[in-house]
């Protein structure tokens, strides 16, 4: 087994102890990963601070952009190894992880293009004796706490704009998928970034993330994960007044109207919930289908779900790999069994097709009430709840009747309906006649219990910048010190 160290400043730290990363497909350990101590975390934050106040902080945007473009080249050269790390860690398809990793250079190129274009503005102060302007400065040291389902992609959502802004970072990967993030730190060094710009702390203990978020040397926190953990992260960050960006869970609705291209819609429903074995925050885990086409669409989706190929995620023919870890599989099973006990119909799936291990087959649940747990809670697995609706009003009411508000899919041939529903749906992203696509230039994030703040796009850069107001007195006159103005 490989032994994977953390990167703290210029140092590779093996950890006082280690924990094991298990390949979800084989069930075998494949890497020994460093376990951070509280001192390691404090040292990582200090290293990030030193870089921010030193060489990196003094570096002009043009030079930051040059290093980011070099990083993009290094990532492209290492894409195969990084993708394999992620597949061995989380069990997702190698072809999907390869696609994600090969797409990362575009994020760094995009934000490199913004690194030397961060500008302020001159403000009319309303007074002839003052010149006023606003400048934008990097927020400082960022703590990034990452999930296990797409580690490098979701790191990049945070790191690329943070680097463009001039921030430094300490990243804590999930204990279920740590290896690619720790390997990525080596690429940062290879690309020529100064020590301390990007640091990693890993651990099987939840304390590692808690120590990081609570460190008073952290200026910003960016978290991706569950809403329960996100709330705890926000409270911890707020204790030392560090703002947090939270990208949390979802229970997204994929809404199919009778006038939609039903073949495309059924394919979009499949993509929304069964791609990545449903282990994605944007999963379209609720299918809302209009009465007139309900039976036909359910039949199309069920027929395709029954033929999805499960197996080795490294095999190009595989369409669904295993669930990431046993606790997640147990959670999925509990939701399905509860739905069955409550009288719902398991139209297809509900088991492992005899494959054993961490496999769970594509599952479609019908005859389920909108207030059932399977329709309201994020399952994070290949489980689709199907609901009927009569008209637009009912579709919007069902879709919005959720504590989450991350995304929605809308399938229709009526362009006027598109504009009406895009406005009415209470979510951060709406896909029209498509599902599950992302891009560096489009902001991403949710409302309600799906979190706050945005990643990607110009909005993502704003999360890592502070506005500073500057007033310059221009006359040299003395004014009354007891009067505001």
Q: How far, in Å, CA of 77 to CA of 72, rounded?
A: 9
Query: Can you spell out the DSSP letters for 415-434?
Result: HHHHHHHHHHS-SSEEEES-
Q: What is the pLDDT of residue 92?
A: 98
Same domain, 266 and 135: no
* Number of independent structural domains in the chain: 2
Domain residues for the domain of 157 are: 2-248+450-470
Half-sphere exposure of 384 (CA within 13 A, CB side): 31
DSSP-derived 3-state class of residue 203: coil
Same domain, 262 and 149: no
As a whole number, mean pLDDT of residues 345-363 equals 96
Tokens of 199: 């640091």
Same domain, 150 and 170: yes
The CATH code of the domain that includes 398 is 3.40.309.10
Same domain, 354 and 230: no
Phi-psi region of 136 (alpha: psi -120 to 50; beta: other; left: phi over 0): beta
Q: Inform me whether the pLDDT recorded for 485 exceeds 90.
A: no
Same domain, 390 and 454: no
pLDDT band, residue 2 (cuts 50/70/90): confident
Q: What is the pLDDT of residue 58?
A: 98
Residue 479 lies in a domain: no
As a whole number, mean pLDDT of residues 10-32 equals 97
Q: Inform me whether the pLDDT recorded for 138 exceeds 90.
A: yes
Same domain, 380 and 234: no
Q: What is the pLDDT of residue 1?
A: 84
Tokens of 321: 């790999």
- The Cα diameter of the chain in Å comes to 86
Q: What is the pLDDT of residue 178?
A: 98
State the alpha helices, DSSP H only, in 91-175: 94-115, 151-165
Same domain, 426 and 298: yes
Instruction: Name the residues annotated as catalytic.
Output: 247, 281
pLDDT band, residue 321 (cuts 50/70/90): very high
Q: Inform me whether the pLDDT recorded for 125 exceeds 90.
A: yes
**Between residues 407 and 1, the one the model is more confident about:** 407
Residue 305 lies in a domain: yes
Same domain, 98 and 165: yes
Residue 478 lies in a domain: no
- What phi and psi, each to the nearest 5 degrees, are found at residue 15? 85, 150
Q: How far, in Å, CA of 216 to CA of 196, rounded?
A: 17
Residue 443 lies in a domain: no
As a whole number, mean pLDDT of residues 442-469 equals 98
Same domain, 303 and 360: yes
Distances (CA, A) of 429 to 66, 92, 135, 264, 308: 32, 24, 31, 19, 27
Same domain, 294 and 169: no
Beta-bridge mates of residue 244? 221
| CA 110 and chain centroid, separation | 18
Residue 428 lies in a domain: yes
Q: What is the pLDDT of residue 278?
A: 98
The CATH code of the domain that includes 74 is 3.40.605.10
Residue 484 lies in a domain: no
SS (HEC) of 269-310: HHHHHHHHHHCCCCCCCEEEEEHHHHHHHHHHHHHHHCCCCE
Global pTM?
A: 0.97
Same domain, 139 and 225: yes
Residue 98 lies in a domain: yes
Q: What is the pLDDT of residue 424?
A: 98
Q: How far, in Å, CA of 254 to CA of 288, rounded?
A: 6
Q: What is the pLDDT of residues 273-318, one digit of tens each?
A: 999 999 999 999 999 999 999 999 999 999 999 999 999 999 999 9
Q: What is the pLDDT of residue 473?
A: 96
Same domain, 67 and 166: yes
Residue 442 lies in a domain: no
Mean pLDDT of all residues in the chain?
97
As a whole number, mean pLDDT of residues 262-272 equals 98
């Amino acid at each position: 087994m490989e032994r994977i160290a953390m990167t703290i400043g210029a140092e590779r730290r093996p950890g006082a102890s280690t924990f094991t990363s298990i390949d979800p497909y084989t069930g075998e350990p494949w890497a020994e990963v460093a376990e951070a101590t509280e001192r390691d975390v404090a040292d990582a934050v200090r290293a990030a601070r030193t870089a921010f106040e030193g060489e990196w902080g003094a570096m002009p945007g043009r030079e930051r952009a040059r290093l980011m473009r070099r990083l993009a080249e290094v990532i492209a050269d290492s894409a195969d190894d990084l993708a394999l790390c992620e597949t061995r860690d989380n069990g997702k398809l190698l072809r999907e992880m390869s696609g994600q990793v090969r797409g990362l250079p575009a994020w760094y190129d995009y934000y490199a293009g913004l690194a030397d274009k961060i500008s302020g503005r001159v403000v009319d102060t309303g007074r002839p004796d003052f010149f006023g302007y606003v400048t934008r400065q990097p927020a400082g040291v960022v703590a990034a706490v990452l999930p296990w389902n797409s580690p490098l992609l979701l790191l990049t959502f945070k790191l690329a704009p943070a680097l463009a802004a001039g921030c430094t970072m300490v990243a804590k990967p999930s204990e279920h998928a740590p290896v690619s993030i720790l390997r990525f730190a080596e690429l940062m060094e290879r690309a020529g970034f100064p020590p301390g710009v990007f640091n990693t702390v890993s651990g099987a203990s939840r304390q590692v993330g808690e120590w990081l978020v609570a460190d008073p040397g952290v200026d910003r926190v960016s978290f991706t994960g569950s809403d329960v953990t996100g709330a705890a992260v926000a409270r911890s960050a707020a204790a030392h007044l560090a703002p947090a960006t939270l990208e949390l869970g979802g229970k997204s609705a994929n809404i199919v109207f009778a006038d939609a291209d039903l073949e495309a819609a059924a394919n979009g429903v499949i993509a929304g919930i069964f791609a990545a074995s449903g282990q994605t925050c944007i999963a379209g885990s609720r299918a809302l289908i209009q009465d007139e086409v309900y039976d036909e669409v359910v039949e199309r989706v069920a027929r395709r779900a029954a033929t999805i190929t499960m197996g080795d995620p490294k095999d190009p023919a595989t369409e669904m790999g295993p669930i990431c870890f046993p606790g997640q599989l147990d959670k999925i099973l509990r939701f399905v069994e509860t739905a069955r006990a409550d009288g719902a119909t398991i139209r297809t799936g509900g088991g492992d097709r005899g494959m054993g291990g961490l496999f769970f087959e594509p599952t479609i649940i019908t005859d389920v009430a909108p207030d059932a747990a399977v329709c309201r809670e994020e399952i994070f697995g290949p489980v689709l709840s199907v609901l009927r609706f009569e008209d637009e009003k009912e579709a919007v009411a069902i879709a919005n009747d959720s504590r989450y508000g991350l995304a929605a899919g809308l399938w229709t041939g009526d362009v006027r309906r598109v504009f009406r529903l895009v406005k009415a749906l209470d979510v951060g992203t709406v896909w029209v006649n498509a599902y599950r696509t992302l891009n560096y230039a489009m902001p991403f994030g949710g409302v309600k219990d799906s979190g706050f703040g945005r990643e990607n796009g110009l909005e993502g850069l704003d999360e890592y910048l502070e506005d500073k107001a500057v007033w310059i007195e221009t006359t040299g006159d003395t004014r009354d010190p007891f009067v505001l103005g």
